[in-house]
Structure 1
Amino acid sequence: MNLFTSLINFITRAFRNRAQATLILSLLYLSVRFCSTLNDITTYSSNLQSRLLTLRDLPTDYARSFNESLNKNLLFIYNTTNLPIRIPRIIHRTYKSTDIPLRWLSSQNSCKEQNPTYTHMLWTDESARQFIAEHFPWFIPTYDSYPYPIERVDSIRYFLLWHYGGIYIDLDVSCRRSLDPLLAFAAWFPKTDLYSVSNDIMASIPRHSIMLKLALSLQDHNGWFGTGYTTVFWATGPMFVNGILGKWFEVVGNVEGEDGVRILPPMFYDRTPYTFFEHREGNSWHGWDAAVVKWAYGRLWWILAAVALAPAVLMALSTMRRRGDRHLYLYRM
């Protein structure tokens, strides 16, 4: 008799039937998993927080001039060409062809205008596959097997950054100023909320270990996760990145140098006066499942708390029911 069966038998004696005992035991297991997940999320959030970039991390004169222009409501003009850089001046974007829709063309042009000395590389479906076939032929079977085109769009960005370095930017993201101040770090990801980063913008030096880890982990995560959105989200998209990044933090730790990873705070990424980017209409592949996932994610702690408290509630109700039955029996006597 194994431990699970023994526990069911023990709980069955405390409750009315085996089905109820199995339910209680399953919920107890989920409660344990909840505590473990809570610890993992808290640790990951702490790791993100400890790596946040601030104005103090940017060149002193640049940060001072930036603040002065904002305080005086002046147009910020600064020669960034002599700032120290580690990440090469390359901007990668992807689309199925060179015929970019008008609603995204202005985003691409804004980055060219703000960063005229950069090499701007647009990867189409054809050129992206050629790149994988030439440099990473072992990945072609996985690349071709993806059921959703967005999975290929996601996966190519990790290989591009590992091979060339530079900055990957989604088509629906525009540039508000020169990105030179962000090139002084070995790698960075933008923080979207307290517990996660995004993969719509990211950057690294060539051959950075986190990009290698992401690229090499794609095959193990290739699978079906219930719906189109959740499959993309977990197999190649943001949740995939956060999962790998969390494990990478555990192994590598908070290091500097060639393996360092910094986190771009919302003030540099979202709608603030300090932001380097601006987000426009996008999410062209999202459907009903995306709305469901976002709804659940926005209520994540309530859902997890409900799962954690469910065993205690059911046990309390069962106890009250037994006491009620006992009182009814005594009353009838």
Structure 2
Amino acid sequence: MRRFFNSNFGTWASLDARTSICEETAKDTPDIQEDRKDRNMSIPRQSVTSQPDSFAHITLAGDDQPATRPSSQIPRILHQTCKNETVPEIWADSQKSCLEAYSDYEYKLWTDELAREFLSAEYPWFLETWDNYPFPIQRADAIRYFVLHHYGGLYLDMDTVCHKPFPMDQIDNGILDNSLFQATLPTGITNDIMISTARHPAFASAISLLPTFHRLTRLWARLQPYAAIMISTGPLFITLATADYLYGEASLPSPTVQVINQTDLTPYITDLQTATWHGTDAHVLKWLADKPLIWFVLGAVGVVGGIYVLNKVLLFLYRRVSLIIVSVVGFVVKATKMCLGEWVVAYRLSNKWQLWK
């Protein structure tokens, strides 16, 4: 059983490792395989305890021995993404607040151009998928997984207002692989804010699955953009990829994926939720989300409509099959009559020939 700590409830959650949540998974890329070979998983046993403070549950303990690894595992790097270096006015203040809050961090603004150059140098196998994404937000989603896998650090959306820096000393727990996600409904975790050590296997799982999920959604992405984006690169994707990693790993003494409630992050950040990528389909689905009566009516209409259409299809097929059967039987009867008629004529002619002789 693979375990992770859910700070929303202050309890341990378990995932059964017998089956994988992703039936079709992409093969590990060479850099991920090499990364796994280099890992030394013989680390001190540690545990995580739940305490009232937002980040207080992330502590060092276990076997009465201090961790032998460095106290700072998560790189002090702040990652953000933007189409180009000209940040839209709607995000100017929020970006400034984060630059001030994390003034002692290295700052990386990943533009479309820089992102592609980075992938070309470090993950060239992904360029085909990258270039074929139909929506820019899919590239903005994907690059954050790659840079966290490669560099580690903190990722924040551009519409995030920073009040004060996260207590990284408390988040750091001395284990080799460590990550923190924010809980969200209904998917599980969100990709708006992510904290991770470099080469975390959860992000290795994510980047290896990106091409697979692109193939699953590319044929209908234009018809339902919101659902396609959520599944191929968005919050639902990272939830499934992280769960797939947890399902596939043996039980370790320390949790490598930690989830924190949005309310616990209020002292540190405010999400403006500009959602500039949302289209009409997204707004309709969000409007319907808290209206169960409408869903019931739509479901009932769908069932009745489905039965009506099925009835029409079956009736059409019945008529066509009936016509085909009648035509075949008629042809057989006609052919039989013709054959019998020719035989009778031949027989009579034969008899006349015998009489003449």
| TM-score for both structures, normalised by structure 1 | 0.63
**What's the counterpart of residue 209 of structure 1?**
201
Q: Secondary structure at the match of 2:165?
A: coil
CA contact (8 A) 1:254 1:260 kept: no
- The CA distance in 2 between the partners of 1:48 and 1:195, in whole Å, is 15
Equivalent AA in structure 2 for residue 153 of structure 1: A
For the structure 1 residues 106 and 217, does the alpha-carbon distance in structure 2 shift closer, same or farther, using more than 3 Å as the test? same
CA contact (8 A) 2:150 2:199 kept: yes
State the identity as a percent: 31
- Asked if 1:135 is matched to 2:132, the reply is no
Equivalent AA in structure 2 for residue 267 of structure 1: T
Superimposed CA distance per residue, residues 280-324 of structure 1 (whole angstroms, 9 cap, x where no aligned partner): 2521111111123324544689969x979x99xxxxxxxxxxxxx
- Asked if 1:292 is matched to 2:280, the reply is no
For the structure 1 residues 295 and 266, does the alpha-carbon distance in structure 2 shift closer, same or farther, using more than 3 Å as the test? same
Report which stretch shifted further, 121-130 or 224-233.
224-233
Among candidates 179, 183, 186, match of residue 187 of structure 1: 179
**What's the counterpart of residue 104 of structure 2?**
117
Residues 229-248 of structure 1: pairs in structure 2 closer than 5 A: 229-248=226-245
Superimposed CA distance per residue, residues 60-107 of structure 1 (whole angstroms, 9 cap, x where no aligned partner): 9x9xxxxxxxxxxxxxxxxxxxx9532111010010111101221211
CA contact (8 A) 1:84 1:183 kept: no
| TM-score for both structures, normalised by structure 2 | 0.59
**What's the counterpart of residue 192 of structure 2?**
200
CA contact (8 A) 2:8 2:260 kept: no
CA contact (8 A) 1:175 1:278 kept: yes
For the structure 1 residues 161 and 45, does the alpha-carbon distance in structure 2 shift closer, same or farther, using more than 3 Å as the test? closer
Report which stretch shifted further, 99-108 or 139-148.
99-108
- The CA distance in 1 between the partners of 2:52 and 2:186, in whole Å, is 19
Equivalent AA in structure 1 for residue 278 of structure 2: H
Residue 51 of structure 1 and its aligned partner are, at CA, apart by 5.7
- The CA distance in 1 between the partners of 2:12 and 2:212, in whole Å, is 27
Among candidates 192, 208, 213, match of residue 221 of structure 1: 213
CA contact (8 A) 1:168 1:201 kept: yes
Residue 245 of structure 1 and its aligned partner are, at CA, apart by 2.3
Equivalent AA in structure 2 for residue 173 of structure 1: T
Superimposed CA distance per residue, residues 168-203 of structure 1 (whole angstroms, 9 cap, x where no aligned partner): 111000211112336415101101237521111111
Superimposed CA distance per residue, residues 197-240 of structure 1 (whole angstroms, 9 cap, x where no aligned partner): 11111111000000000000000000234411111111111111
- The CA distance in 2 between the partners of 1:143 and 1:164, in whole Å, is 19
**What's the counterpart of residue 144 of structure 1?**
131
Q: Secondary structure at the match of 1:246?
A: helix
- The CA distance in 1 between the partners of 2:242 and 2:140, in whole Å, is 19
For the structure 1 residues 261 and 44, does the alpha-carbon distance in structure 2 shift closer, same or farther, using more than 3 Å as the test? closer
**What's the counterpart of residue 315 of structure 1?**
none
How many residues are treated as equivalent by the alignment? Answer: 241
- The CA distance in 2 between the partners of 1:245 and 1:48, in whole Å, is 17
Q: Secondary structure at the match of 1:188?
A: strand
Residues 1-333 of structure 1: pairs in structure 2 closer than 5 A: 49=9, 50=11, 55-56=52-53, 58=55, 84-181=71-168, 183-184=171-172, 186-193=178-185, 196-222=188-214, 223=218, 224-225=220-221, 226-252=223-249, 255=252, 257=254, 260-269=256-265, 272=266, 275-280=267-272, 282-298=274-290
Residue 248 of structure 1 and its aligned partner are, at CA, apart by 2.7
CA contact (8 A) 1:192 1:266 kept: yes
Instruction: Return the index of the structure with the highest Cα Rg.
Output: 2
Residue 158 of structure 1 and its aligned partner are, at CA, apart by 0.5
For the structure 1 residues 57 and 51, does the alpha-carbon distance in structure 2 shift closer, same or farther, using more than 3 Å as the test? farther
Structure 2 spans left out of the alignment, 5+ residues: 14-49, 60-69, 304-357
Higher helix share: 1
CA contact (8 A) 2:189 2:235 kept: yes
- The CA distance in 2 between the partners of 1:293 and 1:44, in whole Å, is 31
- The CA distance in 2 between the partners of 1:298 and 1:183, in whole Å, is 35
